Amino acid sequence: MRIPFTKMQGAGNDFVVLDETRARFGLGTAQYRFLADRHFGVGADQILTVRPSPAPGIDFEYVIHNADGAEVEQCGNGARCFARFVRDAGLTQKDAIRVQTRGGVIEPVLKADGRVTVNMGAPVFETERIPFTPGHIAARASGSWQQWPLLLAASGQDTAVLVAVVSMGNPHAVQLVNDVDTAPVLQQGPLIEHHPFFPNRVNAGFMQVQSRQQIRLRVFERGAGETLACGSGACAAVVAGIRLGLLEPQVDVQTHGGVLTIAWAGGNTPVMMTGPAATVFQGEIEIPNDFPNAS
């Protein structure tokens, strides 16, 4: 089977975008893994699929698969690319659209300067909705909020870290670090992702606060590993920093792939994310019947 695709990136977070507004390709987990594989496929952090509106008042359905082939609830950088794609492909003439994701409805808006602002919805803090199941472990008060201790077992030694836990439609555990360049992202990231307190796994964020209006961030994404940027991770980090009393309501987030601007007024108000979205190239790819097991 041969299918068309568009390769896109937002702040270095890269995607394969598939247009299923006319017909479904019928791909499964292995095929998504193949497309994401950087040796045998196109290569991407996530596969984004555009589908027709599933309900009145919604413009499109936005389906996200991680590089491991698993479907997930949300991808902020992908949402910006999604909005850019549907406009450039002539699927809509709107600058502002409403999109249904597995994690809820989001509202991307294309700006005159080429960037895209996405209403990511309000953050979720209730542990059962994240989901986060700490059992009898007690949270530690910090600022006007709390952090949770996680015990990580690595190389025969246990390491305890403190994380702030929040959902932006997908689960995030945000850890404060002194320097993201030396933070043990690749060592601790997989351990946090698969920690038993997170039944659906979790995205692990490592945040360095530079000022009340600027942070640096690295994210080890669930099912994708460390990426150059993570939009929902940037939102989660800023929300955590604000709740912990460390940040102002608008913050520039420096990632390896570029700068994202995150704004949150607190409470049950939505988090607004602004950043770039660009098409890299378009093409077609043959999905072989017997292809190598994508890694």
b/e burial code for range 167-197 (CB count within 10 A of at least 16 → b):
bbbbbbbbbbbeebeebebeebbbbbbebeb
What is the rounded distance in angstroms from the CA atom of residue 89 to the CA atom of residue 34? 24
Q: Which among 16, 185, 207, 230 is annotated as catalytic?
A: 230
How far is Cα 49 from Cα 86, in angstroms, rounded to an integer?
A: 11
The CA distance from 90 to 219, in Å, is 33
CA 152-181-131 angle, to 5 degrees, is 40
Using DSSP bridges, classify how beta strands 272-275 and 278-286 pair: parallel, antiparallel or unpaired.
Answer: unpaired
- 230 carries an active-site annotation: yes
Using the Cα atoms of residue 223, residue 227, residue 229 and residue 234 in order, give the sign of their dihedral. Answer: positive
- Degrees, nearest 5: CA angle 189-121-24: 80
Which of 44, 48, 67, 75 is labelled catalytic?
75
Active site residue 81: no
Is there a contact between 16 and 42 (Cβ–Cβ < 8 Å)? yes
E strands along the chain, which residues? 2-10, 13-19, 46-52, 60-66, 71-72, 99-101, 104-110, 116-119, 140-142, 145-154, 157-167, 171-176, 203-211, 214-221, 225-227, 250-255, 258-263, 272-275, 278-286
Query: How would you classify the pairing of strands 140-142 and 145-154?
Result: antiparallel
Catalytic residues: 75, 230
